[in-house]
Structure 1
Amino acid sequence: MPDSSRPRLLPMTPRQQLRAPRKARRLTHLVLGLLILGVGVGLFVRAGLGLSPWDVLHQGISTRLPLSFGTVIVLLGLTILLLWIPMKQWPGLGTVANTFAVGPVADLTISVMPEIHGIGWQLAAMAAATVLAALGTGLYIGAQFSGGPRDGLMTGLHFKTGLSVRLIRTVMELTALGAGWLLGGVVGIGTAVFALSVGPLTQFFFRYTVVDIERR
């Protein structure tokens, strides 16, 4: 049984998101979450043990089409946004912030962080990156300003089906992984760890990161 005493995510239009209470705390969660998520993405790349499932898909598509890796990320994100329409999901401040913040933070992390050598250090970096990605996701989605294209699809399916975020996120990651691998994307041990653990970890962090806007 879900714990009704805990704050919950609410489906809201962009206007409702901006009018909802506790804006200072929600904005803090949004900014901090996107920064942490971007660092996690960059650290995962530096771990050198495989790409995350969505990046395996991005790479797989880019090997089949005359498009750069970054262009595929943008175009796939826009395509996923179309799936929001039948679920009545609305892009909000979090969607825009995710689009423009995570990539640059990840690039900055990669540029300032040296290459990681030694399997022990690589495994530690991989584990830390996965936890950071889940924490960052929990914080910025918990701010209730809407999620990025992929996370918005996750929450939209959660609202539509009533299934747990943990299950939906895991299925999405495994689907992206399978499609990316079939298209030629690079898979490693880090890919499997991320796909299987980021959903449960995100669900765990939601217990503490969702801002309660129902109780004044």
Structure 2
Amino acid sequence: MIKKIIFTMVRLFFGLFLYAFGLVLAINSNIGLSPWDVFGQGISKTLNITMGHATISVGFVIILINFILGERIGWGTIFNMIFIGEFMDILMLNRLIPISTNFVVSVIMMFCGVMVIALATFLYIGAELGAGPRDGLMVALTRKTNKSVRVVRSIIEIGALVVGYLLGGFVGIGTLIMAFSVGHAVQFIFKLFKFDVSKVKHRYIVDDILFVKNNLY
């Protein structure tokens, strides 16, 4: 039991670190950001905070919205909100990943970032501790509106992109690369590892509360 918990947490945090690493690779490719990162950068510039703290702030607001909409929250959701942003700041503030000034290098960095994000998604979702805030928002709105996942996801990301751009976020060819390639990359990684996301059974915070309650009383 203890070994399983340790393995799950290592998998989760390694996935979160890789996700941050992939995001910073894409950001430092210097040819455009993903829709959510355009939004995060816009918030960062507007509030004069780091990119990582902007990501955390946005994640916190989204989790509140998810909770109001009735979406169940897992420990992985909370850790996703906090640690991806913190890992991003560690990587960016310490300049551990160089900023590209060469277009060919930039494109390579962008695609590497996409593949790292896809691998990270497999790792953290496979930990079965809850979806990330943005994935949770997509699920909650899909359930509430009865619209398709594709429509809801598109509306959310277009909204994040437009608001982020108006706030000063950087939109470029990399934005298009991220928008159209991440889904395909995630699908490729899932297929490579024979990972069926429909069979994932997340454990939520309320499950742990009930477990403790039942054992105490």
Please report the TM-score for the alignment, with normalisation by the length of structure 2: 0.71
Deviation at 1:193, TM superposition (A): 1.1
2:161 to 169, 177, 182: 177
Of 35, 47, 53, which aligns to 2:17? 35
CA contact (8 A) 2:60 2:81 kept: no
Task: Report the Cα offset of residue 194 of structure 1.
Answer: 0.8
Map 1:109-128 onto structure 2 (within 5 A). 109-110=91-92, 111-128=95-112
8 A contact 1:37–1:133 mirrored in 2: yes
Corresponding residue for 1:5? Answer: none
Q: 1:175 offset after TM fit, Å?
A: 2.5
Q: CA RMSD in A?
A: 3.1
**Equivalent residue, structure 1, for 2:117:** 133
1:52 alignment partner in structure 2: 34
Partner of residue 173, structure 2 = 189
Cα displacement string for residues 151-190 of structure 1 (whole angstroms, at most 9, x for unaligned residues): 32234345664844x6654443332112212333221111
CA distance in 2, matches of 1:134, 1:170: 18
Which shifted more, 27-36 or 185-194? 27-36
* Structure 2 unaligned regions, length at least 5: 202-217
The residue correspondences of 1:154-169 to structure 2 (distance < 5 A) are 154-157=138-141, 161=146, 163-164=148-149, 168-169=152-153
Note if contact 2:126-2:200 (Cα within 8 Å) is conserved in structure 1: no
Aligned to 2:57: 75
Count residues in correspondence: 192
1:5-20 paired onto structure 2 within 5 Å? none
Q: 1:61 to 1:116 in 2, by over 3 A?
A: closer
CA contact (8 A) 1:41 1:133 kept: yes
Residue correspondence of structure 1 range 17-28 to structure 2 within 5 A = 23=5, 26-28=8-10
Alpha-carbon distance, 1:39 to partner:
1.0
Percent identity of paired positions between Structure 1 and Structure 2: 35
Q: Distance in 2 between matches of 1:23 and 1:211?
A: 22
The match for 1:15 is none
- Runs of 4+ residues deviating >6 angstroms: none
More helix by share: 2
Task: Trace 1:146-161 onto structure 2 (pairs within 5 A).
Answer: 146-157=130-141, 161=146
Match of 1:93 in 2: 75
CA–CA distance in 2 between the matches of 1:46 and 1:149? 24
